[in-house]
Amino acid sequence: MSEQRDDKKHFKIYPKEIQQLIIIFGLIAATFAGACVGFGIATPRECYPLTKKSILIVWTLGVPVWFAIEFWFIYRKKSLPDTFEKFKHSQELTSKIWLAVLGVLVLLYTGAMKLD
């Protein structure tokens, strides 16, 4: 039983309240990403070009801006002591997911990936 608690502590970067808010924000972002990919799959390249460009801009700029905000304004002020390596690892993994989703969106929205 104490082993499970140690595992949970191992991944803890923020106090519980902050951690919960970041998890909620992450779930909202994941839902948005899924909706954007679904939109790209469901619509031909020629349809809704302005919407697709807007989504690409938000996805391209929004996630790196979030990473910066999280580091400069949340992590530096609210993190638990000695958690920088965990934070850095988490950011690296998340950035790879972001790049993968961005790549899929670019392929879908530019027509380079056809799902016919």
Number of domain units in the chain: 1
Give the pTM: 0.79
How far is the C-alpha of 87 from the C-alpha of 27, rounded, in Å?
18
Length of the chain: 116
Look at residue 116 and tell me if it is in a domain: no
Q: Which domain holds residue 28?
A: 23-110
Check whether 2 has a pLDDT greater than 50. Answer: no
Compute the average pLDDT of residues 59-80: 95
Look at residue 51 and tell me if it is in a domain: yes
**What would the pLDDT profile of 23-68 be if each residue is shown by its tens digit?**
999 999 999 999 999 998 888 878 899 999 999 999 999 999 999 9
